[in-house]
Amino acid sequence: MSDVDTFIISAKDGRIDIVSQFLQENKVTVDCRDKDGNTALMQASAWGFMDLVKLLLSHRADINNRNKDGSTAWLQVLHIYFFLLSLLILTQYLIRLL
């Protein structure tokens, strides 16, 4: 597995220790991408790892990068929270039916 793959997967898994180490040792650039065009910021944002997002932004991660699907870190956050909000609304609706 390449350093870029390890870095992106670590961001997806919330491994701030590994991501921080890679950045400190200059093993990767903060905006490197996986095969799908995702950055560490996109992955950390999508999975809600706030401290990791803060770390990546402090290293000047570009919030405007787009992956192959045209999604940005911000759009990935919106997808997750819209999904969670939808689940909440559906749950409340189903509870009221009982």
Of 47, 36, 40, nearest to 80 by C-alpha is 47
Q: Does domain 3-97 have CATH number 1.20.1250.20?
A: no
- The domains of the chain are located at 3-97
User: How many angstroms separate the CA atoms of 62 and 56, rounded?
Assistant: 9
Q: What is the pLDDT along the chain (98 residues), one digit of tens a residue?
A: 899 999 999 999 999 999 999 999 999 999 999 999 999 999 999 898 999 999 999 999 999 999 999 999 988 888 777 777 788 888 888 888 87
44 burial via Cβ count (<10 Å: 0-12, 13-18, 19+): buried
Quote the CA–CA distance of 57 and 70 in Å, as a whole number: 20
Q: Is the pTM of this model over 0.75?
A: yes
